[in-house]
Each structure stands twice: as C-alpha cells, then as structure tokens.
Amino acid sequence: MLDEELRKGAKPLYKLPARALAERGVTGDALTGASLGIGALCLAAIAFHLNTVALILWLLNRLLDGLDGEVARLRGESSELGAFVDVVADFFVYGGFLVALAIQHPDARLALVVLFFAYYLNGTMFLALSSTLERLQRERLTERGLHFRRSLAEGFETILVGTLFLLLPGYVSTIAWVFAAMVFVSAGQRLWDGRRMLGHG
C-alpha cells in the first residue's frame, strides 16, 4: 500500500550505500545471493525459537533486497534474469517464514496455513498479471523489474507483519488472521485491476 511512497522517500538514504557497494565491485546478483542466504538463516532461527536473531536477519534480508536492484542499476547490469531471481528469492523467504513460524507455533498453524494460501493466491495473480502486461508490452509504472500494481498488502506491510510476528510471539495467530484478510483483499484488487486493464471491466 505504501511501497512506492516509501521507496521514493528512502531512495536518497540507500543511494549512498548502493553507490559505495557498486564502486567496490559488488554486483546486484551478489547482493541477491547474500540476501537469500541471510533469509535462509532467518528461517532457521525462527524454527529454533531464536526470535531476536531472526529479527536482525529478517531486517538485514529486506535491506539487501532493497539494495540489490539499485546496485544493479548503478552498475548498468539490470537484467530480466536478475529480476527473476529477485522475485524467486522473495517468495522463498516469504513462504519459508510462515513455515518456520508454524514449526515454532503449532497452535497457530491453521491461521498460518490460511495466510500461506492468501500469499499463494495473491502471488499467482501478481505474476500472471505482470507476465501478461509484459507480453502486451504495456508501460511499467515503476523502475522495478516487473509490472507492480498497487494493492493493500505490499512489501512494506509484509516487512512490518514479519517484524510483529517476531516481536509479539503471543499474538502470531491473530496477526496471521488479520494479515490474511489484507492479502485476500489485495488478491481481489489485482483481479479487478487485471479485468480493467485487459478490457473486461
């Protein structure tokens, strides 16, 4: 919901570290790989009830995920492959986060499974719409590698909810139910958006 506003506001802040990394030969692909590795460690920490460690790794993972694209652009290395790997890494971490939480909180598994299904549905609509718009050569609304459409639950909200899961372990089920509802709304928004953009609305 707030991704584009926050991205524009934060750009001057991460431009400096991105430039420093680019000048030192660090590639966007290397950052994506590092982000994925840190994400995997985060999932393991959650499964082993190490929430403080997991929170640090989660935020670092999300920071690197924001830097990799900017570093690739500064180095002139932006590619469709990089965008593809970046999305795969995001889905791995987002889905794995819920699986790790289900290991840590067996009493919240139903809510987490419903949230996982919401992720699946929303992600399917996002990727299907993005690929269709790419095939139709529609103009991208952002500089990101895929066609991103606005919705209620986006990257910022997912980062916030992941942080809440780790800070408030006694409320995992409640947080999961609320966020699942938000993600289902986002899926509905993308369905409506797709119908409108593809001439059926």
Encoded amino acid at 174, one letter: T
158-168 average pLDDT score: 97
Give the Cβ contact number of residue 107 at 10 Å. Answer: 9
CA–CA dist 134, 118 (Å, integer): 24
Give the Cα separation of 123 and 24 in Å (integer): 35
Stretch 6-31: mean pLDDT: 81
**Residue 201: its pLDDT value, please?**
45
List all residues 6 or more positions away from 132 whose beta carbon is below 8 Å from its beta carbon: 194, 198
Which CATH number goes with the domain that contains 63?
1.20.120.1760
- pLDDT recorded at residue 11: 65
Report residue 134's pLDDT band, with 50, 70 and 90 as the boundaries.
confident
Give the pLDDT confidence of 42-93 residue by residue, as tens digits.
999 999 999 999 999 999 999 999 898 889 888 887 777 777 888 899 999 9
Report the percentage of the chain scoring pLDDT > 70: 86
What pLDDT sits at residue 51? 98
Question: 131: part of which helix (H) or strand (E)?
Answer: helix 109-135
| Cα angle 178, 88, 102; round to 5 | 40
Domain assignment of residue 188, given as a range = 3-197
Domain total for the chain?
Answer: 1
Residue among 92, 91, 114, 89 nearest 102 (CA): 114
Quick: pLDDT tens for 113-124. Answer: 999 999 999 989
pLDDT (0 to 100) of residue 132: 80
Q: In which residue are the tokens 């139910």 written?
A: 177
Q: How confident is the model at residue 133 (pLDDT cuts 50, 70, 90)?
A: confident
Decide if pLDDT at 2 tops 70: no
89 and 65 Cβ atoms separated by less than 8 Å? yes
Residue keyed to tokens 């699942």: 180
| Mean of all residue pLDDT scores within the chain | 87
Q: Which amino acid is at 164?
A: L
User: Which of 47-56, 73-82, 143-152, 181-190 reaches the highest mean pLDDT?
Assistant: 47-56
